[in-house]
Structure 1
Amino acid sequence: MTLRVQILKDKFSQSLGLPFKELLPESVIRLAISELKIKYKKRLFDPFVTLWAFLSQVLDTDKTCHNTVSKIIAHLAESEVEVPSTDTSAYCQARARLPEKLLENIFNFSAQSLEEKVRTEYLWCGRNVKVIDGSTVSMPDTVENQKEYPQPSSQKEGCGFPIAKIGVIFSLATGAAIALCIDVLNTHDIKLARRLYSFLKPNDVLLGDRAFCAYADMFAITKLGCDAVFRKHKSRKTTMQKGKIVGDCDKLVTWYKPKTCPKGLSKDEFDALPPSINVREIYYNIVIPGFRTERVSLITTVLDKSSYSTLAIVGLYGQRWDVELDLRHLKTTLGMDILRCKTPSMVRKEIYVFLLAYNLLRSLMWDAGTTYTTPPLRLSLQGTRHHLINFIPKLLAATSTKRLRVYRTLLKVIAHKAVPDRPARNEPRVRKRRPKAYPLMTKPRHELRKQLQTA
Structure 2
Amino acid sequence: MTLRVQILKDKFNSSLGLPFKELLPASVIEQALSELKVRYYKRLFDPVVTLWAFLSQVLDTDKSCHNAVSKIIAQLAGEGVELPSTDTSAYCQARVKLPEKLLEQLFGKAAQSLEDKLTIEYLWRGRNVKVIDGSTVSMPDTVENQKAYPQTSSQKPGCGFPIAKIGVIFSLVTGAAVALCIDVMNTHDIKLARQLYQFLNPLDILLGDRAFCTYADIVALLKLNCDAVFRKHQARTTSMRKGKIIGACDKLVTWYKPKKCPTGLSKDEFDALPPTITVREIYYYIVIPGFRTERVSLITTLLEKVTYSTLDIVGLYGQRWDVELDLRHLKTTLGMDVLRCKTPSMVRKEIYIYLLAYNLLRGLMWSAGTTYGTPPLRLSLQGTRHHLNNFIPELLAAHSTKRLQIYCTLLKVIAHKAVPARPARNEPRVRKRRPKAYPLMTKPRHELRKQLQTA
Indicate the TM-score class for this superposition, using the shorter chain for normalisation: over 0.9
Aligned residue in 1 for 2:13 = 13
Deviation of 1:59 (Å): 0.1
User: Partner letter of residue 338 of structure 1?
Assistant: V
Deviation of 1:36 (Å): 1.0
CA–CA distance in structure 1, aligned partners of residues 322 and 221 of structure 2 = 21
Counterparts of 1:298-377 in structure 2, within 5 Å, are 298-377=298-377
User: Partner letter of residue 293 of structure 2?
Assistant: T
Secondary structure (helix, strand or coil) at the match of 1:196 reads helix
CA–CA distance in structure 2, aligned partners of residues 434 and 427 of structure 1 = 18
CA–CA distance in structure 2, aligned partners of residues 181 and 342 of structure 1 = 19
Secondary structure (helix, strand or coil) at the match of 1:165 reads strand
Counterparts of 1:184-263 in structure 2, within 5 Å, are 184-263=184-263
CA–CA distance in structure 2, aligned partners of residues 65 and 29 of structure 1 = 22
CA–CA distance in structure 2, aligned partners of residues 445 and 71 of structure 1 = 34
Deviation of 1:260 (Å): 0.2
Cα deviations by residue, 1:384-407 (Å, 9 ceiling, x for unpaired): 000000000111111111111100
Cα deviations by residue, 1:167-186 (Å, 9 ceiling, x for unpaired): 00000000000000000000
Secondary structure (helix, strand or coil) at the match of 1:180 reads strand
Aligned residue in 2 for 1:120 = 120
CA–CA distance in structure 2, aligned partners of residues 356 and 328 of structure 1 = 16
Aligned residue in 2 for 1:130 = 130
Cα deviations by residue, 1:140-185 (Å, 9 ceiling, x for unpaired): 0000000000000000000000000000000000000000000000
Secondary structure (helix, strand or coil) at the match of 2:30 reads helix
Deviation of 1:41 (Å): 1.0
Question: After TM superposition, which residue ranges in structure 1, 4 or more long, deviate above 3 angstroms?
Answer: none
CA–CA distance in structure 1, aligned partners of residues 9 and 199 of structure 2 = 32
Which shows bigger deviation, 194-203 or 393-402? Answer: 393-402
User: Partner letter of residue 119 of structure 1?
Assistant: T
Give ranges in structure 2 of 5+ residues lacking alignment: none
Aligned residue in 2 for 1:278 = 278
Cα deviations by residue, 1:258-312 (Å, 9 ceiling, x for unpaired): 0000000011110110001110000000000010000000000111111000000
Aligned residue in 1 for 2:65 = 65
How many residue pairs get aligned? The number is 455
CA–CA distance in structure 2, aligned partners of residues 177 and 384 of structure 1 = 17
Cα RMSD (Å): 0.5
Deviation of 1:343 (Å): 0.1
* Alignment of 1:32 onto 2:32: yes
Aligned residue in 2 for 1:2 = 2
Secondary structure (helix, strand or coil) at the match of 1:195 reads helix
TM-score by length of 1: 1.00
CA–CA distance in structure 1, aligned partners of residues 431 and 217 of structure 2 = 38
Counterparts of 1:141-220 in structure 2, within 5 Å, are 141-220=141-220
Secondary structure (helix, strand or coil) at the match of 1:137 reads strand
Aligned residue in 2 for 1:105 = 105
User: Partner letter of residue 38 of structure 1?
Assistant: V
Deviation of 1:75 (Å): 0.5
Deviation of 1:137 (Å): 0.1
Aligned residue in 2 for 1:406 = 406
Give ranges in structure 1 of 5+ residues lacking alignment: none
Deviation of 1:119 (Å): 1.5
User: Partner letter of residue 90 of structure 1?
Assistant: A
Deviation of 1:22 (Å): 1.3
Deviation of 1:118 (Å): 1.1
User: Partner letter of residue 226 of structure 2?
Assistant: C
CA–CA distance in structure 1, aligned partners of residues 407 and 31 of structure 2 = 27
Among all aligned residue pairs of Structure 1 and Structure 2, give the percentage whose two residues are the same amino acid. 83
CA–CA distance in structure 2, aligned partners of residues 121 and 239 of structure 1 = 38
CA–CA distance in structure 2, aligned partners of residues 185 and 356 of structure 1 = 22
User: Partner letter of residue 220 of structure 1?
Assistant: A
Aligned residue in 2 for 1:79 = 79
CA–CA distance in structure 2, aligned partners of residues 339 and 105 of structure 1 = 21
